[in-house]
Amino acid sequence: MKHALKIFACNSNDGLASEICSRLGVRPSQLEISRFSNDNLHVQIQENVRERDVFVVQSFTEPVSDHIMEMLITIDALRSASAQRITAIIPYYSYARSDKKDKPRISITGRLIADMLVTAGANRVLTMDLHADQVHGFFRVPVDHLTAIPTIADHFRQNYDLANMVAVATDAGGAKRVGRFSERLGIPMAIIDKRRVSDTDVKQGEVVGDVRGRDAVIFEDEISTGGTLISTINTLRAAGARSIHAGAVHGVLCGPAIERLREAAIDSIVVTNTVYVAPEKQLDKLTVLTVAPLFASAIERIHSGESVGALFE
Q: Is 194 a catalytic residue?
A: yes
What is the SS3 assignment for 233-272?
HHHHHHCCCCEEEEEEEEECCCCCHHHHHHHCCCCEEEEE
Task: Determine if the peptide bond prior to 91 is cis (ω within 30°).
Answer: no
Quickly count: other Cβ atoms within 10 Å of residue 251's Cβ: 25
Q: If we measure between CA atoms, which residue out of 4, 30, 34, 36 comes closest to residue 17?
A: 30
For residue 70, what is the enclosing H or E element?
helix 64-80
Active-site annotation holder among 194, 203, 281, 285: 194
For residue 111, what is the enclosing H or E element?
helix 109-120
Q: Phi-psi bin for 247: left (phi > 0), alpha (psi -120 to 50), beta? A: beta
Residues near 63 by Cβ (< 8 Å), separated by ≥ 6? none
CB burial of residue 287 (10 Å; 0-12, 13-18, 19+): middle
Residues near 298 by Cβ (< 8 Å), separated by ≥ 6? 126, 144, 146, 308, 311
CB burial of residue 74 (10 Å; 0-12, 13-18, 19+): buried
Distance between CA atoms of 20 and 293, rounded to whole angstroms?
7
Active site residues: 194
